[in-house]
Structure 1
Amino acid sequence: MAVQISPSILSADFARLADEAARVEGVADWLHVDVMDNHFVPNLTLGLPVVEALLRATPIPVDCHLMIEDPDRWAPGYAEAGAGSVTVHAEAAKAPVRTLRAIRAAGARSGFALNPATSIEAYEDLLPEIDMLLLMTVEPGFGGQRFLDVVLPKITRTRALIEKHGGEIWLQVDGGVSAETIERCAAAGADVFVAGNAVYAADDPAQAVRDLRALASAHPRLG
């Protein structure tokens, strides 16, 4: 499995999103966009019109993480707009199979996110519908939080379930991913890494992406 780095624009300058995307162009695999509605999580960020504008402004594939109520209604629109990956939360989706299939039908990868306290085992039967599992390594809603080590065993269990079913499912981690934590995530089984402050608070975001990739790739299972 190859390491993928997805810088989160939640930590970027919202007044200069096109320029901020350009700072990681050529080194980032994805641009991670957190859509928050101030209902599912206690924060309000951006929505479909801004995502559409960003898609026109960058060649980097966009990875939309919907931290919103009623993702069943809204998720397909992000895929139809051109997002390469659209992730909905287990805690918010009322018809997850239908929604994951609608995301795929609209041409995007289907992502399924779990909060730190949500068990992966309850969703094992949904694995055939999922292209990427996102395990939150902080409580969702705000950037800059401290990584929760208690999620590491769940990453390991999730990787084991993926391998048990033999699917080509990516395993993404989001929250507190940095030079200090990314190796532990890789060792536990993650292969897609969302990094906000670790990239955009750096003097050179592109170099920060390279450094994170090197650290994660040092694990013998990846690279």
Structure 2
Amino acid sequence: MVKIAASILACDLARLADEVKRVEEHVDMIHFDVMDGHFVPNISFGLPVLKALRKETKLPISVHLMITNPEDYIDRFIEEGADMVAIHYESTFHLHRLVHRVKDLGARAFVAINPHTPINLLSEIITDVDGVLVMSVNPGFSGQRFIARSLEKIRNLRKMVKELGLETEIMVDGGVNEENASILVKNGATILVMGYGIFRNDNYVELIKSIKQEREEFAD
């Protein structure tokens, strides 16, 4: 069954704890976007916010590091409560080393790829990671429109995973909503990151229920 990750980038940050408690019984994890104003053109949350959030929920927290020099911060994010860490392929020269550092510290390791990054570049790391985070918008801001070509990328990534006999998660982040969630699941997505669709949607409970009824229809 597909998992739902609630992205707090879209919540009422003045009421962060209340917002998380409002949705946590309906979602599978909390998604925590870290932006440094350098790797992406925005600045978001850091370690103190993660530390505070960790005290407010028992749900797994997926930390998406949209930062340069992620090697300088991985240890601290895991210390402060990250259960999953996504490192951008484009952000480091030593991805294999960082992936295994995440695992050695007891967290799940994901590799994230920007819209322009082809999946064939993952061939030498795919067997080492727990999941791939496919950015379906240009990273940096919540509420953007889904890039249609991302669907083909997800389908091809799922094919790669199946051919290798792996159980690699495929997380999709960016522009996920009630209009495209079903087709994403049917084409291989196993985790959907949703911000506006949850925190700014009065019918988010019904939406989540309908998404979780979907099943992959991928054909070899």
1:132 equivalenced with 2:131 (yes/no): yes
Distance in 2, matches of 1:182 and 1:45, equals 25
Identity %: 38
> Does the 8 Å contact 2:186/2:215 carry over to 1?
no
3-state DSSP class of the match of 1:77?
Answer: helix
| Structure holding more helix per residue | 1
Farther off after superposition, 74-83 or 36-45: 74-83
3-state DSSP class of the match of 1:110?
Answer: strand
Farther off after superposition, 37-46 or 69-78: 69-78
> Does the 8 Å contact 1:48/1:78 carry over to 2?
yes
Distance in 1, matches of 2:199 and 2:58, equals 18
Indicate the RMSD between aligned Cα atoms, in angstroms. Answer: 1.4
Q: Which residue does the alignment assign to 2:149?
A: 150
> Does the 8 Å contact 1:174/1:195 carry over to 2?
yes
TM-score normalised by L of structure 1? 0.93
Q: Which amino acid aligns with 2:103?
A: R
Q: Give the drift of 1:185.
A: 0.9
Q: Which residue does the alignment assign to 2:71?
A: 72
Q: Which amino acid aligns with 1:41?
A: V
Q: Which residue does the alignment assign to 2:163?
A: 164
Taking a change above 3 Å as real, the CA distance of residues 194 and 40 of structure 1, as seen in their structure-2 partners, is same
Q: Give the drift of 1:219.
A: 4.3
Structure 1, gaps ≥5 residues long:
none
Taking a change above 3 Å as real, the CA distance of residues 107 and 209 of structure 1, as seen in their structure-2 partners, is same
Distance in 2, matches of 1:110 and 1:192, equals 14
Distance in 2, matches of 1:14 and 1:94, equals 34
Q: Which residue does the alignment assign to 1:101?
A: 100
Structure 2, gaps ≥5 residues long:
none
Distance in 2, matches of 1:138 and 1:93, equals 20
Q: Which amino acid aligns with 1:185?
A: L
> Does the 8 Å contact 2:187/2:217 carry over to 1?
no
Q: Which residue does the alignment assign to 2:19?
A: 20
Superposed CA deviations along residues 199-220 of structure 1, whole A, max 9, x for unmatched, are 1111254444334333xx2545
Q: Which residue does the alignment assign to 1:88?
A: 87
Between the two proteins, the alignment pairs up a number of residues equal to 218
Distance in 1, matches of 2:215 and 2:101, equals 36
> Does the 8 Å contact 1:5/1:193 carry over to 2?
yes
Q: Which amino acid aligns with 2:123?
A: E
Q: Which residue does the alignment assign to 1:210?
A: 209
Distance in 1, matches of 2:81 and 2:102, equals 11
TM-score normalised by L of structure 2? 0.94
